[in-house]
Amino acid sequence: MASISLLNPKAEFARASQALAINISAAKGLQDVMRSNLGPKGTVKMLVSGAGDIKITKDGNVLLHEMQIQHPTASMIARASTAQDDSTGDGTTTTEVLDKVKVPVEINKKNLVEVANTSLKTKVHPALADLLTDVCVNAVLTIASADKTKPVDLHMVELMEMQHKSDTDTQLVRGLVMDHGARHPDMPKRLENAYILTANVSLEYEKAEVNSGFFYKTAEEREAFVRAEREFIDQRVKKVIELKRSVCDGTDKTFVLINQKGIDPISLDALAKEGILALRRAKRRNMERLALACGGTAMNSFDDLQEEHLGYAGVVYEHVLGENKYTFVEDCKNPLSVTILIKGPNKHTITQIKDAIRDGLRAINNTIADKALVPGAGAFEVRAYNELVAFKDTIKGKSRLAVQAFADALLVIPKTLAVNSGYDAQDTIVKLTVEDRMSPELPVDLGVYDNYIVKKQILNSCSIIASNLLLVDEVMRAGMTSLKG
């Protein structure tokens, strides 16, 4: 009898070996669900909900979230995996073996392509993975600083999606793609040699905040009142138009206004008459991206507008797709912010590609931060296994068993990879361990790499979770609700 049942007769509990069995079966259950996803040959899952929502994924983290886990142990593991995904922050202890196999790399395109490709091939079909690899690497390299010392801000890579019936294509746009267009029929659809003014200034007439009404005798008088109320906004529009005239008149240059605040139809009309393309309600983050992509500064007031505040883009054009409009800002001088444009036939494939791209970008970014890689495809696990077996002989007592168990556990990854690719697990493992013992140099020539920091994090969290699970000797469920019945 556990003491809890004295306090609450309705409490459920499981003790000692029973508790351990619960934990282990939960962990095994999760492993069973996940194992077929591992590696480039793993299966892709299409989850269809009761209402018909579709999700396609191979990402363990997504799967864990979708399964809506109830079991306490399983949810603990699931949370650890979420944490892994959320942060690639450093672990607290360095893992010795990992440091030994770590390969310092020079940050060049080839290395980045290899690590991104490894990551992406485990997510999508190889043909698509090759394409995405190219896009991701180019994206990061474009926005990274020349000497690769500053950390790369991945927010400066915008992911824009376009649902298009027949077109599947993902491309890198060296500039910005926005998911809205001009709201005036007379505005130009395409501009070349464009000045870009980014602003956060309202060009929208708001009704006065006080309880006021118009009292007028004639239509002219009413007009006058309305005009006076609008004057305020019109002044701002006039300043933009003046600037446009001063920089564009007599040249072949054109003018684009991208505003974070609203622009009302009357202001749009005035701008359209001048041939200015105006966009309203731009994303807050796009303001920052625009300044990086085109140059110039985002303006908070139009009081002191100068030419140097303006950015530049070679071409700005609008693309209409169904009810959605997109605006492309391309051919920028020195883009420090780029857009990856994902086209797909339906929402769920786009989401899957987007997830893959995020992971690919992250893998590249980690490599740049680590300046090191770990050989992938199970090579690290096999090496670690051999090192651990050798290490086992140097220690005494019960710990020997623990080391052996940990070493065996590491082999699960290469085993699962082998099984998923249709090889015999035993054969492969024996071949691998022997090969690894024979050739002490690292298998780096195949171009399959994993991130150093990711492996480090896995090793840290897996041993912590495992020891937590083993330390549990009682599981109980009792709460206020069960007490009161």
Partner 1 sequence: MIYEQVAEEQLPNNDILYREGCNDLNRITYTPRLLSVDLAGTLGHLPVTGELYGNFVQRDEELLPLSTGEELEQARKRAEESGVCAPEQLEVQAQPKSAISEYQRDLLKNAVVPEKNYQLAATANSWADFLYARYHPRTLNVLPGLIRDPTAQALGTYSTGTEMWQEASFNEEFCDRIRLYVEECDGLQGFHVLFDIDDGFGGLTGKCLEHLNDEYSRASFVLPLHYPRITSYAQADSRLSHSIRVVNNVLGYHQLSEQAMMFTPLSTLETIWRNNNLKSRSLPGLQWETDNLYQTSALLAAFFDTATLSYRLRQTPESLLRFCERVTPAGRKLTAAGLALPFGLREGQDLIEFLDQSGDHALLTQLTPGCEPGTSYVVQSVTARGIPVERLKRPRELAGDQLRMAAYGCDSISHMLQLYYQCTYHGSVTNAAATPLPLKTQLPFPYEMFAAGISGGGYRLPEGAERETGSRVDSAPMLAALQNSTKLGEHLDNLHAQSHRVQLAKLQAYSNSCLERDEYDTALDQLLEFRDLYADSQYL
CB of 382 to partner 1, least distance (A): 26
Among positions 108-147, residues that touch partner 1 (CB under 8 A) are: 124-128
Tell me if 161 sits within 8 A of 342, measured CB to CB: yes
Applying CB under 8 A, the site for partner 1 has a residue count of 58
- Neighbouring CB atoms inside 10 A of 430's CB total 11
CA distance 30 to 441: 35
Q: Which of 87, 94, 145, 168 binds partner 1 (CB under 8 A)?
A: 168
Interface of this chain with partner 1, residues 412 to 471, rule: CB under 8 A: none
- To which residue do tokens 């491309």 refer? 171
Angle, helix 379-392 to helix 412-420, in steps of 10 degrees: 150
Query: d(Cα 188, Cα 300) in Å, to the nearest integer?
Result: 25
The contact mask relative to partner 1 for 243-262 (x = CB under 8 A, - = no) is: -------------------x
Interface residue with partner 1 among 39, 295, 344, 414 (CB under 8 A) is 344
Task: For the segment 146-165, give every residue that binds partner 1 (CB under 8 A).
Answer: 163, 165
Residue 362 CB, shortest distance to partner 1, in Å, is 14
Among candidates 41, 40, 84, which has minimal Cα distance to 62?
84
Half-sphere exposure of 59 (CA within 13 A, CB side): 23
Pair of tokens at residue 163 = 């649902």
Q: Residue 250 contacts by C-beta under 8 Å, 6 or more apart in sequence?
A: none
Q: How many whole angstroms separate alpha carbon 237 and alpha carbon 150?
A: 39
- The token duo for 283 is 């994303």
By CB under 8 A, tell whether 166 contacts partner 1: no
Query: Closest CB to partner 1 among 170 and 428?
Result: 170
Q: Which is nearer to partner 1, 48 or 390 (CB)?
A: 48
Give the residue carrying structure tokens 């602003």.
Answer: 199
| Closer to partner 1 by Cβ: residue 132 or 377 | 132
Residue 349 within binding range of partner 1, rule CB under 8 A? yes
Q: Is 9 in the site for partner 1 (CB under 8 A)?
A: no
Please report which residue ranges of 146-250 form alpha helices under DSSP H: 219-248
Nearer to partner 1, 51 or 146 (CB): 51
Residues that bind partner 1 (CB under 8 A): 36, 43-54, 56, 58, 65, 68, 124-128, 163, 165, 168, 179-180, 183, 204-207, 209, 211, 213, 262, 264-265, 280-281, 283-284, 322-323, 344-349, 352-353, 356, 479-481, 483-484
